Amino acid sequence: MTAQFSSHAAVLIEELLPRTLLQNDDGPLEVACSGGPDSTALAVLAAATNRSVTLHHVDHGLRPSSSEDAVLVKELADFLGVHFVGHIVDVGEGPNLEARARHARRSVLPNGAATGHTMDDQAETVLLNLLRGTGTEGLGAMKPGAHHPLLDLRRRDTHELCGVLGLRVVVDESNDDQRLLRNAVRARLLPLFEELSHRDPVPLLARTATLARGDAELLSGLAKLVLPDPHDVVALREAPQPLSTRVIRDWVISTNLDDEREHPPSEAEVARILEVVSGDVQATEISGGRRVARTSGRLRIDAEASGTLEGVNTDAKQTIAPSWAAHDLGDVVVSAQQIRTRVSELGAQITADYGDNPPLLVGVLKGAMHFMSDLAQAIELPVDVDFMAVSSYGSATQSSGVVRIVKDLDADLSGRHVLVVEDIIDSGLTLNYLRKYLQARGPASLEVCALLLKDGEQRIEPDFRYVGFTIPPTFVVGYGLDVAEKYRNLDSIYTYVGTDSY
Ligand code: IMP
Ligand code: MG
């Protein structure tokens, strides 16, 4: 440390440092520093250890002053004689701003970088989790350690340290916005507790967190002894629900990427996995583009890009819906990257299968628009392409199987090897009709290549030569698929959670 501190500051640092976990280790110390008072104090205390310290600032480009904040943190690093790294991420305005900003921040910060959360933040987290209906785990809130080394300090300590040192800190105006629940809890709920009980609620709530975390860790240890194999469907089904829930939860967390370790599956995800356990469904999507499925009495999390939708989706951009559509979109079902990989596999297979007899590709408009284009480019044969447009009669939600030809083919099919390129097969009735219609024109062969097949929904004998992905039977949009003509231009496929009827 090169900075020279006044004796008052030196005394304060000497008092605070032993209350942190910064000296539990002596390796390099990565610090996430926004320039606010808590993370500025964290930087000062980090610099007072013997460790090699780097301050990381993330500029989200969201506030006009955000690049000035980076300058302030750089000056702090210079003052303290530690390293500085500035990261710039592009978040953009739109819905789910906080979640998207957090995601973007995590993708650039080193794993487990220290943050300046204090005991006051811990107390707020306990209350926020309570307001979400949390169980033991959520009451445990943040876990003290290298990632959260300041949980035994109070916010007034960090502010005092900055004040004594006369450090300029970033003021985040959004901290005053009481529409954000955390801010309202801070400004109104905690003071109300104090007023009613005549006690400072922060250490009490922090104690609750410590006790709950201890219990949660104990329970998870015991759960492992009682039910050691989280893949065993029978054991899970026979276990009391709190036990199976905990085993599933701990299993999913253990397969998370390191930087997501603190983010357990949601209640709803665990409930959906329990439906797979009970046999109500065969498989379910979970966050991160993953899928939990069941075969021969064993549960598994698929984690490899291929036609069965395996693959931990680490492509940060792909897991975030574009802001102009985010309000209508749920999880990514198939990412753009997964589509690219699979389409080139299909192209290679078709190339090998047809060889000397290049097929006539018949695209079904409009849903197959992107798929037809990408697939045709992935086939290394002189293919012909043609299109037809159909519209099915019947209610909006259910295909009746009676199809009106809106645009017919230009090509003559007789003697040709025809490959129908479809977006999605749901009941299969549309395709069934189409197949009969085309067969009547005397092609030499007639096969189907569908990008998506909805699991278990077909009311016809499934007989499709090429299928991109089998997906759960939910309504999806993107990559050509629409709801009321919208969202065909998304590059990934998402579940649709909006209210337009389809
Ligand atoms: P089927 O006759 O039930 O197989 O319906 C097939 C047609 O319904 C597809 O070509 C799509 O146009 C439409 N479709 C079925 N499921 C979806 C979906 O999840 N999203 C968008 N369109 C769908
Ligand atoms: Mg369609």
- In order, the DSSP letters of 153-220 are S-HHHHHHHHHHHT------GGGG-TTSHHHHIIIIIHHHHHHHHSS-HHHHHHHHHHHHHHHHHHHH
Is the model's pLDDT at 318 over the cut of 50?
no
C-alpha of residue 452 to centroid of ligand 1, in Å: 10
CATH of 7-197, one of 2.60.120.10, 3.40.50.620, 2.10.109.10, 3.90.1200.10: 3.40.50.620
Q: Under CATH, which number does the domain 314-496 receive?
A: 3.40.50.2020
C-alpha of residue 144 to centroid of ligand 1, in Å: 50
Is the model's pLDDT at 205 over the cut of 90?
yes
**Which ligand 1 atom is the nearest neighbour of the CA of 422?**
10
Ligand nearest to the CA of 481: 1
**Which ligand 1 atom is the nearest neighbour of the CA of 392?**
2
Q: How many CA atoms within 13 Å lie on the side-chain side of 487?
A: 27
The Cα 249–Cα 165 span in angstroms is 45
**Which ligand 1 atom is the nearest neighbour of the CA of 367?**
12
The 10s digit of each residue's pLDDT in 351-408 is 989 989 999 999 999 999 999 999 999 999 999 999 999 876 554 445 566 778 889 9
Q: 195 exposed, middle or buried (CB, 10 Å; 0-12, 13-18, 19+)?
A: exposed
Residue nearest to atom 3 of ligand 1 (CA): 427
Share of the chain above pLDDT 90, in %: 61
**Which ligand 1 atom is the nearest neighbour of the CA of 364?**
10
**Which ligand 1 atom is the nearest neighbour of the CA of 428?**
4
Q: Is the CB of 426 under 6 A from ligand 1?
A: yes
C-alpha of residue 289 to centroid of ligand 1, in Å: 22
Share of the chain above pLDDT 70, in %: 90
C-alpha of residue 481 to centroid of ligand 2, in Å: 7
Residues of the chain with CATH 3.40.50.2020: 314-496
The Cα 251–Cα 269 span in angstroms is 13
Is the model's pLDDT at 1 over the cut of 80?
no
- DSSP-derived letter for residue 124 is H
The Cα 201–Cα 190 span in angstroms is 7
CATH 1.10.8 fits 227-302, yes or no: no
Report every protein residue that has its C-beta within 5 angstroms of ion ligand 2.
367
> Taking a C-beta distance cutoff of 8 angstroms, is the pair 46, 33 a contact?
no
Residue nearest to atom 10 of ligand 1 (CA): 424
Q: Is the CB of 453 under 6 A from ligand 1?
A: no
At residue 277 the predicted structure's pLDDT band, cuts being 50, 70 and 90, is very high
Average pLDDT rounded to a whole number, residues 149-170: 97
The pLDDT, as a whole number, for residue 462 is 66
Q: Which residues pair with 421 in a beta bridge?
A: 363, 449
**Which ligand 1 atom is the nearest neighbour of the CA of 482?**
21
Residue nearest to atom 9 of ligand 1 (CA): 424
> Taking a C-beta distance cutoff of 8 angstroms, is the pair 20, 150 a contact?
yes
The Cα 91–Cα 100 span in angstroms is 7
Q: Is the CB of 9 under 6 A from ligand 1?
A: no
Is the model's pLDDT at 301 over the cut of 60?
yes
Q: Is the CB of 399 under 6 A from ligand 1?
A: yes
pLDDT: which is higher, 378 or 280: 378
- List the one residue out of 330, 333, 346 whose CA is nearest residue 302: 333
- CA–CA–CA angle 154, 157, 162 (5° rounding): 140
Average pLDDT rounded to a whole number, residues 227-248: 95
The Cα 488–Cα 481 span in angstroms is 5
Is the model's pLDDT at 191 over the cut of 80?
yes
| pLDDT-wise least confident of 133-137, 139-143, 302-306, 440-444 | 302-306
Is the model's pLDDT at 145 over the cut of 90?
yes
The pLDDT, as a whole number, for residue 42 is 98
The pLDDT, as a whole number, for residue 93 is 64
SS3 content of the chain, % helix, strand, coil (to 5): 40, 20, 40
Is the model's pLDDT at 132 over the cut of 70?
yes
Q: Is the CB of 471 under 6 A from ligand 1?
A: no
Ligand nearest to the CA of 428: 1
In the block, residue with structure tokens 């006539």: 360
Q: Is the CB of 428 under 6 A from ligand 1?
A: yes
The pLDDT, as a whole number, for residue 316 is 35
Beta strands in 72-154 (DSSP E): 83-88
Residues of the chain with CATH 3.40.50.620: 7-197
Q: Is the CB of 424 under 6 A from ligand 1?
A: yes
Report long-range pairs for 128-132 (Cβ below 8 Å, ≥24 apart).
128/181, 128/182, 128/185, 131/181, 131/185
Report long-range pairs for 300-307 (Cβ below 8 Å, ≥24 apart).
300/231, 301/252, 301/255, 303/255, 305/337, 305/338, 305/341, 305/342, 306/341, 306/342, 306/345, 307/342, 307/345, 307/467, 307/468, 307/469, 307/470
Q: What is the mean pLDDT of the chain?
A: 88
Is the model's pLDDT at 103 over the cut of 80?
no
The Cα 107–Cα 420 span in angstroms is 41
User: Which is catalytic among the residues 59, 250, 374, 426?
Assistant: 426
- List the one residue out of 239, 332, 249, 325 whose CA is nearest residue 290: 332
The pLDDT, as a whole number, for residue 398 is 54
> Taking a C-beta distance cutoff of 8 angstroms, is the pair 235, 215 a contact?
no
Ligand nearest to the CA of 482: 1
Residues of the chain with CATH 3.30.465: 227-302
Active site residue 426: yes
C-alpha of residue 279 to centroid of ligand 2, in Å: 31
At residue 305 the predicted structure's pLDDT band, cuts being 50, 70 and 90, is very low
- Helix (H/G/I), strand (E/B), else coil: 497: coil
pTM exceeding 0.85: no
Average pLDDT rounded to a whole number, residues 294-310: 65
The pLDDT, as a whole number, for residue 312 is 32
The pLDDT, as a whole number, for residue 2 is 53
Is the model's pLDDT at 319 over the cut of 60?
no
The 10s digit of each residue's pLDDT in 84-95 is 999 988 776 665
C-alpha of residue 423 to centroid of ligand 2, in Å: 7
Average pLDDT rounded to a whole number, residues 335-359: 91
C-alpha of residue 294 to centroid of ligand 1, in Å: 26
Residue nearest to atom 20 of ligand 1 (CA): 476
C-alpha of residue 427 to centroid of ligand 1, in Å: 8
The pLDDT, as a whole number, for residue 200 is 97
Is the model's pLDDT at 76 over the cut of 90?
yes
Residue nearest to atom 22 of ligand 1 (CA): 481
At residue 425 the predicted structure's pLDDT band, cuts being 50, 70 and 90, is very high
Say which residues have a Cβ less than 8 Å from residue 310's Cβ, sequence separation at least 6: 291, 302, 303, 304
